Amino acid sequence: MFVPLKYNLRNLAVRRTATLLTAFGIAVSVAVFVAVMALVEGMKRTFVETGDPLNIIALRRGAISETGSIIDVSAPALIRNLPGVATMSAERMVYVNTARREDNSSANVVIRGVSDTGRTMRPEVRLVSGRWYQPGLSELTVSRSIASRFRDCGLGEELRTGSATWKVVGIYDAGHTAYSSEMWTEPESIAATFERRAWSDIFIRASSAGQVPSIIAMIEAEPRLDLNAQRELAYFHEQTKAAAPVQILGNIVAIIMAAGSAFAAMNTMYAAVGSRTREIAVLRALGFSGHAVALSFMSEAVLLSVAGGIAGGLCTLPLNGLATGTANWFTFAEMNFEFAITPLLLAEGVAFAIAMGLVGGVLPALRASRLSAAAAMRAL
């Protein structure tokens, strides 16, 4: 026979102050946990959603990112004729020191020099206003988030990099992909402005999925190239590791905060047991077993923490979709992303709260179950 749950609900309502304070404490811990993980989720999503299974990226051997790769000008000719290569785009990337609109702090924003072919190889990148850059004119077409977050990068504005001036002639949208943190122009404009003739990466599309491994093998085996090739998906997947430091920090913070909240929940539950000695005695006298009493107190602790967990999760909802940016661990360049609060993350938050409730509730519940009815009655 179980003690009805209504008994616990009413008790929580009667001890409003303690219930609210404890639930709030749990809510704060859950909110911090969900917020940090939403940031991690947003960063990861950017990379996971970038790439096509037919695409291959070739970088200089040992380079971990496109911006840190220097490829000889002779390389594209060697790759174009490999069997199985459908189209190919050699690209130049530089990053330029650009000021954020919000606080004037600066970040490295990537300018990718990409030909028309390279653009058609990435259908996820769509023009939303203005037009695409023209060759030879120092024009930029800028991603939506860079345009809104960086100074002089909006449509019609002019961005100065050293002695060169770029005109922003269009805005593109690249969804949640890595390209949404870039500005695009013609490869020759980069060569002319930055005196950089070397390529940064060679972007290849295989004619069929079956050709992908053989193209990769041929590129790596070619001694004149000294390149590393990998699938575009794998390249960006590797960069999800950029979120690792935040994830580790988030986990440490969450665990420590949870320990604090669990102690608080334990306090509240001990007080609940202490002030209800008589009620427990009555319950036992009515025939409820020690187990039933323990279970009842455990459910009370869990109810309390679930309330806190839900409240904490709800508090973080306004963060969802909030655009922000940080430096990518791999490229040193600005990486834009949005906080992503998923249903799974909210569920994890509530599960996390339940864990706090269980840890906080178990000792007090055991204590309640061990009170002997006779002694408890005598305590009156």
Binding residues vs other proteins (CB under 8 A): 17-18, 21-22, 24-25, 28-29, 31-32, 35-36, 39, 60-64, 67-70, 72, 94-97, 100, 105-108, 161-164, 194-198, 226, 245-246, 249, 253, 256-257, 259-261, 263-264, 266-268, 270-271, 274-275, 324-327, 332, 334
For residues 40 and 265, what is the distance between their CA atoms, to the nearest angstrom?
28
For residues 215 and 203, what is the distance between their CA atoms, to the nearest angstrom?
12
Shorter beta-carbon distance to other proteins: residue 211 or 369? 369
For residues 215 and 57, what is the distance between their CA atoms, to the nearest angstrom?
11
Q: At its nearest, how many Å lie between other proteins and the CB of residue 150? A: 11
Cβ pair 189, 138 in contact under 8 A: yes
Q: At its nearest, how many Å lie between other proteins and the CB of residue 81? A: 23
Q: At its nearest, how many Å lie between other proteins and the CB of residue 379? A: 14
Shorter beta-carbon distance to other proteins: residue 3 or 242? 242
Shorter beta-carbon distance to other proteins: residue 85 or 225? 225
Shorter beta-carbon distance to other proteins: residue 121 or 294? 294
Q: At its nearest, how many Å lie between other proteins and the CB of residue 18? A: 6
Q: At its nearest, how many Å lie between other proteins and the CB of residue 111? A: 9
Shorter beta-carbon distance to other proteins: residue 266 or 281? 266
Residue tagged 């000008």 (tokens): 73
For residues 249 and 242, what is the distance between their CA atoms, to the nearest angstrom?
13
